[in-house]
Amino acid sequence: MAGTDNAKVKELVLKCMHAREMAYCPYSRFPVGAAILTADGAIITGCNVENSSFGLTVCAERTAIQRAVAEGHRKFSAIAVTCDIKDSFVGPCGACRQVLIEFGTDWVVYLTKPDGSYKETSLKELLPLAFSPAHLGH
C-alpha cells in the first residue's frame, strides 16, 4: 500500500484476525473480523454481530466503519478482512462494499486468510462502476 510500511500492514492484518475472535455468530458460525486504517494512522476494528432476527445482523466491515465514524474518523486508506475459510481469499459482501465506498474509492483492501497470508486488492476493483456520493453532487 503506497505510503504504508510493511509493519503497519502486518499490524492491520493481525488486528482483523483478533477482531474475528470477538465475533458474535451463534447462527451462522461464520466469524468475520475487519480492521480499518484511518488516514491519520489509527486502526479501528469490527466483527460481525448476528441477531436472531437475521436481517438485523451487522457485518464486521460495517461495524468497523461505524465505530470509526463514531470516533470522528472520515478518511480511510485501507481495510483488512478475514474469516475462517482457509482455501481462498474472501471479500466483503456487496452491502459492505457500498458502505465503504461512501468514504472514498481509493482504499486498499487486504483479503486475509486465517494463517495471516493476504492478497492486496482495491475497493475500486471490488466495486467497479460504484454508486457514490459524487453521483449526488457531493
Q: Binding site for Zn(2+): what residues are annotated?
A: 59, 93, 96
83 and 32 in contact (C-beta within 8 Å)? yes
d(CA 99, CA 13): 20
Handedness of CA 104, 14, 72, 40 (dihedral sign): negative
For residue 119, what is its C-alpha cell?
A: 492478497
Q: Which long-range contacts (CB under 8 A, 24 or more apart) does 126-129 make?
A: 126/91, 126/92, 126/97, 127/94, 127/97, 127/98, 127/100, 127/101
Annotated active-site residue in 11, 21, 61, 102: 61
The verdict on whether 21 is a catalytic residue reads no
Question: What is the signed CA dihedral for 24, 28, 71, 126, rounded to 10 degrees?
Answer: 150
Q: Which residues are annotated as a binding site?
A: 59, 93, 96
Catalytic residues: 61
